[in-house]
Amino acid sequence: MRFTTSSLSLFFFILGASASPLITGDVVTDEERILGGTKATEGEFPYIVSITTNGEHICGGFIYNQRFIVTTASCVLNLVPFDVTIVVGQVSLIFNDQYERRYQVVSIIPHENYDPVLGVNNLAVIETSSSIAFTPGHVEYIYYNEDNMTVGATIMGWGTTQEEGLPSVDLLKANVTISTDCVVYGSEEYQPNYMICAGSPTASPCHYDDGSPLVQGNIVVGVAARNTGCGANFLPTLYTRLSSYYAWLNRNAGLQPPMSG
């Protein structure tokens, strides 16, 4: 199950519970009345990817190295690699962006101990059939590390702007705060050694952003993994804590490119 009450999407700000987004075809238009959220600019998040099946966006991820994408297990369970395409360098879901490229998938590796009930070990890597061509400032990998509780974080993606809605046309972003106060989840669901809790009183992730990266500056610290829904009550979202999976990522996706300098 993807980006339902047990998964997540982007932090979009909704003008009101009764606001109805205007729909054109299969996507939400620019008039969805987002309050506080902003459009991302081309190249602002060069590591974000759209994971698609049959040409349709289903969730997000980030570029780990030239051959692997990191996302959540909840995004890719039961998907057949041949049916999955990774889109890099994308900002708009309906227009061809200048640096947009598509890569066929050859393998999907969800964490072998993923628990869909409790949400533990919600992590996966996706291998592309050919090496991703990096373009500085437009298509790049991002390093992962531990989160920093003293600074804010940013989430971005193409998620819907209302419960049960359709993906946003544009890549959107919003700021959230990392916290250890996650009482909305039980002690079994929120395991701080493996998860990050982050939220905002005026924002909530929704559908189609399962696997979207949570970043602090130029470091990714988590991937969107689980929340309690995206209605009027903006409750915290749980992210898979990437720093806890160093050995697993190395074993299944190899090392990241060495830091320069």
Q: What is the pLDDT of residues 87-109, one digit of tens each?
A: 999 999 999 999 999 999 999 99
Q: What percent of the chain has pLDDT over 90?
A: 64
Query: 28-41+143-243 maps to which CATH number?
Result: 2.40.10.10
So what's the pLDDT on residue 21? 23
For residue 105, what are its two tokens? 């998938």
Lowest mean pLDDT among 4-13, 15-24, 130-139, 180-189: 15-24
Mean pLDDT computed over every residue of the chain? 83
CATH code 2.40.10.10 region(s) in the chain: 28-41+143-243, 48-141+246-252
Distance CA 234, CA 253 (A): 34
Note whether 154 and 174 are within 8 A (CB).
Answer: yes
- The string of DSSP letters for 172-208 reads EEEEEEEES--TTS-TTT--TTTEEEEEBTTBB--TT
Tens digits of residue pLDDT in 3-31: 433 333 343 333 233 222 222 233 332 32
Secondary structure (3-state) at 50? strand
Contacts of residue 15, defined as CB under 8 A and 6 or more positions apart, other chains included, come to: 33, 34, 35
Mean pLDDT of 224-240: 81
H/E run at residue 113: none
For residue 181, what are its two tokens? 């106060």
Distance CA 203, CA 73 (A): 24
Residue 165 pLDDT level (bands cut at 50, 70, 90): low
So what's the pLDDT on residue 5? 34
Q: Cβ atoms within 10 A of the Cβ of 203, count?
A: 23
The DSSP symbol for 249 reads H
Secondary structure (3-state) at 109? strand
Q: Cβ atoms within 10 A of the Cβ of 164, count?
A: 10
- DSSP helix, strand, coil percent of the chain (3-state; round to 5): 5, 35, 55
For the cut 80, the answer to whether the pLDDT of residue 176 exceeds it is yes
Q: Cβ atoms within 10 A of the Cβ of 127, count?
A: 18
Lowest mean pLDDT among 23-32, 46-55, 84-93, 248-257: 23-32
Tens digits of residue pLDDT in 237-247: 899 999 999 99
For the cut 90, the answer to whether the pLDDT of residue 163 exceeds it is no
Distance CA 190, CA 239 (A): 10
CATH topology of domain 48-141+246-252: Thrombin, subunit H (2.40.10)
Q: What percent of the chain has pLDDT over 70?
A: 81
Which among 28-32, 36-40, 179-183, 195-199 has the top mean pLDDT? 195-199
Nearest alpha carbon to residue 126 among 174, 78, 84, 189: 84
Distance CA 12, CA 6 (A): 17
Nearest alpha carbon to residue 209 among 260, 160, 174: 160
Residue 201 pLDDT level (bands cut at 50, 70, 90): confident
Secondary structure (3-state) at 17? coil
Distance CA 163, CA 131 (A): 36
Task: List the alpha helices (DSSP H) in the chain.
Answer: 73-76, 246-253
